[in-house]
Amino acid sequence: MRKRSCFTCKSLEEEHRFLETREAAWLKKETGEKNVDGFMVCLASLNDEGKQCRNLRTYFTEKPFREPLRLPEPS
């Protein structure tokens, strides 16, 4: 996948991936959206422990929400 810039981590180019089924279900519940197929999650590492940015964006929009929305860490 082509790299995209990320608004939250302020990086010019970071890896993003499309949401997994469980993540898409969470986003639908969180936002009330019926279709979240175009959303991606930022995989940028924010610190030395490997914590990821996890900011959500759409394929064409860096800031799809008024405030950045981050996907929760996997449990």
| pTM greater than 0.85 (yes/no) | no
Chain centre distance of CA 69: 8
Query: What's residue 27's pLDDT?
Result: 95
pLDDT digits (tens, 9 = 90+) for 62-75: 888 888 899 998 77
Residues 44/14, Cβ–Cβ less than 8 Å? yes
For residue 64, give every residue at least 6 positions away whose Cβ sits within 8 Å of its Cβ, in sequence order, or none: 39, 56, 57, 58
pLDDT digits (tens, 9 = 90+) for 24-69: 999 999 999 999 999 999 888 877 776 788 999 988 888 888 888 9
Please tell me what DSSP assigns to residue 19. P
Distance CA 32, CA 60 (A): 20
